[in-house]
Amino acid sequence: MNADLHCHSTVSDGLLAPADVVRRAHANGVELLALTDHDEVGGLAEAAAMAEELGLGFANGTEISVSWGDDHTVHIVGLGVDPADARLRDGLAGVRSGRDSRAMRIAAELARVGIPAAYEGALRYAGNPALVSRSHFARYIVEVGMARDVKSVFDHWLAKGKPGYVRHPWATLEEAVGWIRGAGGIAVVAHPGRYRLSTAGTREFLAAFKDLGGEGIEVLSGSHGDEQAREFASIARTFGFLASRASDFHGPGESWVDLGRVPELPPDLVPVWTRLS
């Protein structure tokens, strides 16, 4: 089954409109797609309608930004959520409402290192102050010629520890898992290999996630190498997590992996899509 259960549209920091994400997934041979915009469900109706037109399986999703421990940001994907659920919608709106003031703080830090007008620049890419993300800053910084591509902007300016990084309180893990479960969804840890947690810290985080009712983990992610895929397959077995498969596609030319172009899950794992109807 070519399932791709994590990707982005222009409703967050992706480059394609929701319907175009679905068209591209279909052209790439995806059989089941979940759109998972950051802290948003606003693209799901458009994506679902296009999926229906093309006969492509579709699951509603979102990717919630969460603060964990001592200034770690982790992402929790919700699959099969009801986008009309009031508690989920209110929760996501609360998370988004912090993005504008965070963007102003990022811009102030960037101005100190010689990159002026970055708030206005990023907002032009985002189109909406509640959606401004570091990806939009990265596109602006490439535009003004301060970096050759988005990835190097993160390496020089936006990653944790770099001049344009600011601390920000996102949702708590308990809130994110609670909103997802309350909306009938399955909570899945996004790209666990991306977090700079120690081995013990990773286990502590996953144990807390499981205690709260979290059920899945992205074993295969566009940001995992082969070794990480093996590591998180093993963790899925140990914790009894459902396994997800995810490109985390953001747009042509800007993503490590295109829609649906993710390896197969190890056959002994239980795929999370067996629980999506």
Contact 222, 247 (CB under 8 A): yes
Among 10, 36, 62, 135, binds ligand AMP (CB under 6 A): 135
Q: Which stretch binds Mn ion (CB under 5 A): 42-50, 58-66, 90-98, 118-126?
A: 58-66
Among 4, 13, 40, 85, the residue binding Mn ion under the rule CB under 5 A is 13
Cβ atoms 223, 193 nearer than 8 A: yes
| 154 contact, one of ligand AMP, Mn ion, none, CB 5-8 Å limit per kind | ligand AMP
Which position among 23, 134, 139, 245 is part of the footprint of ligand AMP (CB under 6 A)? 134
Q: Which is nearer to ligand AMP, 98 or 182 (CB)?
A: 98
User: From residue 139 to residue 178, what is the string marking binding to ligand AMP with x (rule CB under 6 A)?
Assistant: -----------xx--x----x-------------------
Tokens of 2: 């070519």
Site for ligand AMP in 238-277 (CB under 6 A): 250
Give phi and psi for 188, each to the nearest 5.
-130, 130
Task: Give the residue carrying structure tokens 């920091």.
Answer: 13
Q: Does 75 help bind Mn ion (rule: CB under 5 A)?
A: yes
Restricted to residues 184-203, the positions that interact with Mn ion (CB under 5 A) are 190
CB atoms inside a 10 Å sphere around CB 234: 12
Where are the alpha helices (H) located in the chain, listed in sequence order?
18-27, 44-54, 86-97, 99-112, 118-126, 134-143, 150-153, 173-182, 199-211, 226-239
> 237 to 276, contacts with Mn ion by CB under 5 A?
248
CB 67 to ligand AMP: min, Å: 11
**Residue 191, interface with ligand AMP (CB under 6 A)?**
no
Q: Which residues, 6+ apart, have CB-to-CB distance to 33 below 8 Å?
A: 3, 4, 5, 7, 21, 22, 25, 47, 51, 56, 57, 58, 59, 259
Using Cβ positions, the residue closest to ligand AMP within the complex turns out to be 133
Spell out, one character per residue from 51 to 70, where the chain touches ligand AMP: x when CB under 6 A holds, - when not. Answer: --------------x-----
In the complex with Mn ion, the residue whose CB is nearer, 46 or 248, is 248
| Cβ nearer to Mn ion, comparing 7 with 19 | 7
Residues 6+ apart with CB under 8 A from 37: 8, 9, 11, 12, 14, 43, 62, 63
Quote the least distance from Cβ 234 to ligand AMP, whole Å.
25
Residue 89 CB-density burial (10 A; 0-12 exposed, 13-18 middle, 19+ buried): middle
β-bridge pairing 3-4 and 216-221:
unpaired
| CB distance 120 to 137 below 8 Å | no
Instruction: Determine the Cα–Cα distance for residues 128 and 194; give it in Å rounded to an integer.
Output: 27
Q: Which residue is nearest to Mn ion (CB)?
A: 75
**Residue 6 binds ligand AMP (CB under 6 A):** no
Residues between 11 and 30 that touch ligand AMP (CB under 6 A): 13
93 interacts with, out of Mn ion, ligand AMP, none, CB within 5 to 8 A per kind: none
For ligand AMP, the binding residues (CB under 6 A) are 13, 38, 65, 133-135, 150-151, 154, 159, 250
